[in-house]
Amino acid sequence: MAPIFATVNWTDGTLDAPGMRSLVKKLGQLKQVFSDQSAHAQMDPETVVYRVWWWEPVEAGTEGGLFWGTTEILPGKVGKEFFMTHGHQHAIRDRAEFYGTVSGEGMLVLRDENGKTWYEPMRPGSLHYIPGRVAHRTVNTGEMPFRFIASWPSDAGHDYDVIATEGLGARVIEKDGKAVFVKDGEQ
C-alpha cells in the first residue's frame, strides 16, 4: 500500500492533507440554531461562524476507516448565546469520536439518547471521547478563535435533523461576563 500521510501543525491545529476538504458555515446558514431570532436578524448573514478542514484518507462510507479534521469557531455571540457549531448525531448512531483542543476555550455540549444533557470544558490539551449515540456540539466561549482536532469513523455520517428541530437540551450563554451552561427551562 502507498504511504498515506498528512501534516498537522500541533501548535495551531492546521492541516495539510492530500485532497483536503473544507467547509464554511455562516450566520445565514445557522438561523434556527440560535435562540435569539431578533438578534440573529440584525446581524450580517455573511458573518463566518466556523470552518472545518478535514481529510478523508478512505472513501466516505468505508467501514473500519477513520477521518481527521480541524474545526475553528470564531469568537462571537448571537444575543447572549456564544457562536457554536450546528451540532449532530452520527448517521450510524453507535459511531464514537475523539476531540482534542488545540487553542482557545470552549465547551463540548453532549446529549444522550435518554435526553440527558451535559458539557465538558475544552482547553488546550483537553481530550474528549464522545461515545456512540451521543449528540455533540462545540461552543467558543472565549475571545479568540477556538480550534480543536477530531477523528471519527469514515462511515459515521452526520444527522443534523434532530438538533435542528429540538436542539441539545441546553444552551451556552454569557451571564455576568461568564460562560454559563443553561438547561432548557432553567434561568
Residues that bind Ni ion (CB under 5 A): 97
By CB under 6 A, residue 21 contacts ligand 6PG: no
SS3 of residue 27 by DSSP: helix
Which of 74, 64, 68, 76 lies closest to 100, judged by CA?
A: 68
Which of 47, 41, 44 lies closest to 26, judged by CA?
A: 47
Please state the separation of Cα 13 from the chain's center in Å.
15
C-alpha cell at 128: 474528549
By CB under 6 A, residue 96 contacts ligand 6PG: no
Closest CB to ligand 6PG among residues 148, 173: 148
Look up residue 88 and give its DSSP letter: B
Site for ligand 6PG (CB under 6 A): which residue of 15, 82, 85, 140?
A: 85
H-state helical runs in the chain: 37-41, 161-166
Q: How many helices (H) and strands (E) does the chain have?
A: 2, 15
Site for ligand 6PG (CB under 6 A): which residue of 108, 150, 172, 179?
A: 150
By CB under 6 A, residue 141 contacts ligand 6PG: no
C-alpha cell at 182: 443553561
Closest CB to ligand 6PG among residues 24, 175: 24
Site for ligand 6PG (CB under 6 A): which residue of 56, 72, 81, 97?
A: 97
By CB under 6 A, residue 56 contacts ligand 6PG: no
Residues of the shown chain interacting with ligand 6PG in the complex, contacts defined by CB under 6 A: 52, 69, 71, 85-88, 97, 136, 138, 150, 152, 156, 158
